[in-house]
Amino acid sequence: MGGTRVDTAARFGNRRHDWLRKTITVFATALLVSSAGATVATAAPVHAPVLRAPAGGYEELWVPSSMGPIKVQVQWAARGGSAAVYLLDGLRAPHDHSQWASDTDALRQFVGDNVTLVLPVGGHSSFYTDWYRPSSTNGQRVTYKWETFLTQELPAFLEGYGVSRSNNAVVGASMGGNAALILAAYHRDQFRFAGSFSGYVNPTFPLWNEAMRAAMRDEGNFNVDDMWGPAGDPAWSRNDATVQAERLRGLPMYLWTGNGVPGLPDLPYGVGNTLNAMSLEAMTQVANQIFRNRVAALGIGARIDFGQGTHTWPYWGQALATARPMILDALGAR
């Protein structure tokens, strides 16, 4: 659900743990290596809004939230436009930067466009959702409220810089992919485009709750029951993009997933990590096929591509480049 050795395996090393040998399905494997990790930033001065969007340039903001100040990396629209693209990380989301900035060329791709890139930092094992309570297995002190942050606190703060609250796109990789679709599904007044790259877009699929449990335990010792409750709790269906597909009707969407076959982008990562990335992407392919069948049955339009590749950042950077014209058109930011 969230990232890769796939999530910068080169940096974080080979994270193959004992639970990988014990999990009864490859679903747990699919979630283990998910996306980059760390913890939410907890202290820093808050920027004072300038009541206008700067024309171009890069800035790091600290945004107040119920979770404490959250760091947000921002590349301002080239000509001071008000449209924005939110980019979401995966399971191992680092505490100090977005992997979209470090592991892809997302900033370069949009540097000349009249749209602001918004890269929230943190969200480690959060699924970018509002949790029921703090995780009971790792001493977490605050309750994750990422949906509230991304749809209320952050847009209210950015509005002070002239960024629109109603003309935005949201794109996520791996764990962030399903989150992007869910955020757009429930906040159509905010988002006009949604993108999911290698997203696990059907978390109510049998055994996925246990796969997520294993992955979140491994990545920070988080307890999935404190997020959405046990399997069968309504929160699981509420946060399943396939189940909530009807809410996405009429929204421009782009979904990409690989077929698990490695290519040149996998060469720097080594055999072990590539094998993990292959199994991860095989699972995302299944989830995206289920989503594709669901929207087709409902007559909902979406572009869904299945290409060569594994569960790792270079492919997601390529998918973002494919999505870029669609994003700019949806936001009127050409």
What whole-number percentage of the chain has pLDDT above 70? 84
* pLDDT higher than threshold 90 for residue 60: yes
* Strands ordered across the beta sheet of 116-120: 58-63, 70-75, 116-120, 84-88, 168-173, 191-197, 253-258, 303-307
Handedness of CA 87, 93, 98, 103 (dihedral sign): negative
The answer to whether 281 is a known catalytic residue is yes
Count of beta carbons in the 10 Å neighbourhood of residue 266: 22
Q: What pLDDT score does 52 carry?
A: 60
- Phi, psi (degrees; rounded to nearest 5) at 103: -115, 0
Query: Residue 173: helix, strand or coil by DSSP?
Result: strand
- Phi, psi (degrees; rounded to nearest 5) at 59: -150, 150
Query: Residue 255: helix, strand or coil by DSSP?
Result: strand
The residues spanned by each domain of the chain are: 9-331
Residue 148 carries which side chain, given as an amino acid letter? T
Query: What's the start-to-end Cα distance of the chain, in Å?
Result: 32
Q: What pLDDT score does 238 carry?
A: 98
Is the pTM value of this prediction over 0.75?
A: yes
The answer to whether 124 is a known catalytic residue is no
Q: What pLDDT score does 53 carry?
A: 64
Q: Torsion-angle region of residue 8: left (phi > 0), alpha (psi -120 to 50) or beta?
A: left
> Which of the residues 34, 125, 174, 196 is marked catalytic?
174
- Phi, psi (degrees; rounded to nearest 5) at 87: -115, 125
Handedness of CA 319, 204, 26, 294 (dihedral sign): negative
Q: What pLDDT score does 43 carry?
A: 39
Rounded CA-CA distance 23/90 in Å is 21
* pLDDT higher than threshold 50 for residue 194: yes
Count of beta carbons in the 10 Å neighbourhood of residue 293: 11
Q: Report residue 38's pLDDT band, with 50, 70 and 90 as the boundaries.
A: very low
Q: What pLDDT score does 274 carry?
A: 80
* pLDDT higher than threshold 80 for residue 6: no
Q: How far is CA 181 from the centre of its chain?
A: 9
* pLDDT higher than threshold 80 for residue 39: no
Q: What is the pLDDT of residues 242-289, one digit of tens each?
A: 999 999 999 999 999 999 989 888 778 777 788 888 888 988 999 999
For the chain, the average pLDDT equals 86
Q: What pLDDT score does 1 carry?
A: 53
Q: What pLDDT score does 36 carry?
A: 33
Rounded CA-CA distance 130/46 in Å is 23
Q: Report residue 215's pLDDT band, with 50, 70 and 90 as the boundaries.
A: confident
> Residue 147 in contact with residue 181, Cβ under 8 Å?
no
Query: Residue 60: helix, strand or coil by DSSP?
Result: strand
* 119 or 5, higher pLDDT: 119
Q: Are strands 84-88 and 58-63 parallel, antiparallel or unpaired?
A: unpaired
* pLDDT higher than threshold 60 for residue 11: no
CATH homologous superfamily of 9-331: Alpha/Beta hydrolase fold, catalytic domain (3.40.50.1820)
Of the candidates 212, 304, 303, 302, which has an alpha carbon nearest to the alpha carbon of residue 258? 304
Tell me the sheet residues that pair with 145: 130
Rounded CA-CA distance 98/317 in Å is 13
Q: What is the pLDDT of residues 82-128, one digit of tens each?
A: 999 999 999 999 999 999 999 999 999 999 999 999 999 999 999 99
Q: Report residue 31's pLDDT band, with 50, 70 and 90 as the boundaries.
A: very low
* pLDDT higher than threshold 50 for residue 78: yes
Q: Which of 51-55, 69-73, 155-159, 246-250 has the lowest mean pLDDT?
A: 51-55
Q: Which of 136-140, 156-160, 207-211 has the lowest mean pLDDT?
A: 207-211
* pLDDT higher than threshold 90 for residue 20: no
The answer to whether 311 is a known catalytic residue is yes
For the residues 163-170, what does the mean pLDDT come to?
Answer: 98
